[in-house]
Amino acid sequence: MNKKNISEIKTDFLIIGSGLSGLYSAIYASKFGKVTLITKSSIQESNSYWAQGGIAAAINDDDSIEIHKKDTLSAGCGLNNEEAVNTMVSEGTERVQGLINQGMNFDRAESGFDFGIEGGHSRRRILHALGNETGKAVVDFLCKEVEKNNKITIYENSFVIDLFSDSKSCFGCLVFSDKEKNKISIHSKATIVATGGGCGLYSQSSNPSSTSGDGIALGLNAGAVVKDMEFIQFHPTVFSKEGAQNFLISEAIRGEGGQLVNHSKSRFMENYSKQLELAPRDIVARAIFNEMRTNGEKNVFLSLKHLKPSLIKNRFKNTFELCLREGLDITKDDIPVSPAAHYMIGGIKTNISSQTNIKNLYACGEVACVGAHGANRLASNSLLECLVFAKRAIDSAVKLSKKEMKIPKDLIERAKKCSLISSDKKVESYLNYRILLSQTINNYVGILRNKKDLLLALNEISSIKRTNLDEFDLIDKRLMNLKSLTYLITKSALLREESRGAHIREDFSSESSKWHKHINWKLNNGTLRFSYSKQ
Ligand code: SIN
């Protein structure tokens, strides 16, 4: 393969990622121009696809935008950007209504929508579809729209190597297309990063391992500011059985009355919160972790035996079937669960128009950090965030000057240098590093953190030598991205000497007013530097 051979395409909107934000922004952008949608797998495959709980929106009669806002702020422990929360909960109802008008079917009860409830919500406000397969239902619905839209060109199995950026403006990206077995230079007026989060980096995660934070690394390498990386949300209940795969046991099951019990079959949540199993998920995750540690067990159990079998089999059909495959009939057997990494609250810093600090570069969904979740995301607010800020990214991008910007020559020359071929030895060594780093952050940068463990983790991470990225190949790039992300999570967790929301330090066990601020990261001449900000 000739490493100098690059084909070129031009587009109005370049959208990277095919989760809910990517699909939604692609469809909306197609009203205004030509769209190119890039995904590293297939368009049906994304973390959004696996979302179970649903979409929180204040549309039930007993609810209001104010109450939804209050619940979101209360979960966020003082670090939310209030403007972002306002925007999300108010415009969210319109976006959800828009989906319903377009024909998206959410589950209904006799009297209207069958609203669910999850931890931290004071009202039933969660719309769900196909029982607890909401992500699949919404993604399938939008995929059909994308596939029949002739303004959208899709590149599947295509890995973005770099954004074309001179640290002031973004001009598009360089992508390796598996289909064309070649590099493609995409020249775009607006670039929207919608690649999802990075919790698949943890060895114990509710996410697929492909959820590896690539978009955050792309943003960082392009000169974008990345913030709040210490806030990794752990889901309290992920299926946890020796030898079996981890999968999410939705919080919505606790919403319908599921009870947590320890190995002595005693309920324990009353020792931790008045809200019992429906306390915000940082509290439930920590309670479970504490039970496991105190009793020296690898899991606790979620018990549904007291619930109607018909409710379990209909509303949670998917979970019922997955557990049956693992030999458990959950209408009779308790489900072994433990917490696992679930959602990356931090990401590429944006304003409420989804704009980054780089001109023409936008980010939305889990890859972005607009500040709506603060230090702890309220359950089922993430799909809502995707819809609201995907639309806002496009609304802002259409206002950009239509004058074409030329990609600086040196960026193209640099792109030509990236080789697509790596030796087998190099690939093997990358895979070994990935396992090492996944276990390192899992063991030392988990639910409960302390200085000693965090320093151990930093030591492991720094044992990976930086590659000279003047002459590089795809594997070098992936390894450096992995190193940067694990470093940002760990170093931010070390810097934040307090416990707040999803970030808990054993050695600084309370919230501190000194830490009512955010940690921002930026790459300056090849070195990662941090600063603090109020927003
Ligand atoms: C769940 O169904 O428990 C996950 C929902 C979410 O993470 O928002």
Q: What is the pLDDT along the chain (535 residues), one digit of tens a residue?
A: 444 568 899 999 999 999 999 999 999 999 999 999 999 988 888 778 888 889 999 999 999 999 999 999 999 999 999 999 999 999 999 999 999 999 999 999 998 999 999 999 999 999 999 998 999 999 999 999 999 999 999 999 999 999 999 999 999 999 998 877 889 999 999 999 999 999 999 999 999 888 999 999 999 999 999 999 999 999 999 999 999 989 999 999 999 999 999 999 999 999 999 999 999 889 999 999 999 999 999 999 999 999 999 999 999 999 999 999 999 999 999 999 999 999 999 999 999 999 999 999 999 999 999 999 999 999 999 999 999 999 999 999 999 877 767 888 888 888 878 888 888 988 999 999 999 999 999 999 999 999 999 999 999 999 987 766 566 788 888 899 999 999 999 999 999 999 999 999 999 999 999 999 999 999 998 899 999 999 9
Compute the distance between CA of residue 446 and CA of residue 442 in angstroms, rounded to an integer: 5
Tell me, what's the pLDDT at 51?
84
- For 377, the 3-state DSSP assignment is coil
| 189 CA from centroid of ligand 1 (Å) | 35
Residue 518 contacts residue 532 (beta carbons within 8 Å): yes
Task: For residue 412, give the nearest of 140, 128, 161 by alpha carbon.
Answer: 161
Compute the distance between CA of residue 157 and CA of residue 44 in angstroms, rounded to an integer: 12
Check pocket membership of 252 for ligand 1, CB cut-off 6 A.
yes
Task: For residue 134, give the nearest of 39, 32, 56, 28 by alpha carbon.
Answer: 56
Q: Which of these is catalytic: 95, 281, 478, 496?
A: 281
The ligand 1 atom at the shortest distance from the C-alpha of residue 343 is: 7
Compute the distance between CA of residue 479 and CA of residue 325 in angstroms, rounded to an integer: 35
The ligand 1 atom at the shortest distance from the C-alpha of residue 342 is: 7
| 380 CA from centroid of ligand 1 (Å) | 5
Give yes or no: 95 in active site. no
Check pocket membership of 482 for ligand 1, CB cut-off 6 A.
no
Task: For residue 280, give the nearest of 57, 500, 121 by alpha carbon.
Answer: 121
Compute the distance between CA of residue 467 and CA of residue 404 in angstroms, rounded to an integer: 34
Residue 41 contacts residue 160 (beta carbons within 8 Å): no
| 366 CA from centroid of ligand 1 (Å) | 13
pTM: predicted TM-score of the whole model, two decimal places: 0.95
Tell me, what's the pLDDT at 179?
78
The ligand 1 atom at the shortest distance from the C-alpha of residue 56 is: 8
| Residue having the nearest C-alpha atom to atom 5 of ligand 1 | 53
Non-local CB neighbours of 89 within 8 Å, separated by 6+ positions: 58, 65, 68, 69, 72, 384
Give the CA distances from residue 363 to residues 52, 314, 352, 368, 478, in Å, rounded to whole numbers and listed in that order: 23, 37, 10, 5, 20
| 417 CA from centroid of ligand 1 (Å) | 42
Amino acid letter, 282: D
Task: For residue 309, give the nearest of 299, 323, 320 by alpha carbon.
Answer: 320
Task: For residue 335, give the nearest of 301, 294, 376, 299 by alpha carbon.
Answer: 301
Mutate to test the pocket of ligand 1, among 20, 48, 52 (most ligand atoms within 8 A of CB): 52
Non-local CB neighbours of 451 within 8 Å, separated by 6+ positions: 494, 507
| 251 CA from centroid of ligand 1 (Å) | 6
Check pocket membership of 319 for ligand 1, CB cut-off 6 A.
no
Compute the distance between CA of residue 169 and CA of residue 160 in angstroms, rounded to an integer: 17
The ligand 1 atom at the shortest distance from the C-alpha of residue 118 is: 3
Non-local CB neighbours of 428 within 8 Å, separated by 6+ positions: none
Residue 229 contacts residue 346 (beta carbons within 8 Å): yes
Compute the distance between CA of residue 331 and CA of residue 305 in angstroms, rounded to an integer: 5
Tell me, what's the pLDDT at 177?
86
The ligand 1 atom at the shortest distance from the C-alpha of residue 381 is: 8
Non-local CB neighbours of 105 within 8 Å, separated by 6+ positions: 129, 137
H, E, C per residue of 429-475: HHHHHHHHHHHHHHHHCCCEECHHHHHHHHHHHHCCCCCCCCCCEHH
Tell me, what's the pLDDT at 3?
47
Tell me, what's the pLDDT at 470?
64
| 129 CA from centroid of ligand 1 (Å) | 13
Check pocket membership of 53 for ligand 1, CB cut-off 6 A.
yes
Tell me, what's the pLDDT at 209?
87
Task: For residue 212, give the nearest of 404, 41, 429, 24 by alpha carbon.
Answer: 41
| Distance of alpha carbon 236 from the chain centroid | 16
Check pocket membership of 75 for ligand 1, CB cut-off 6 A.
no
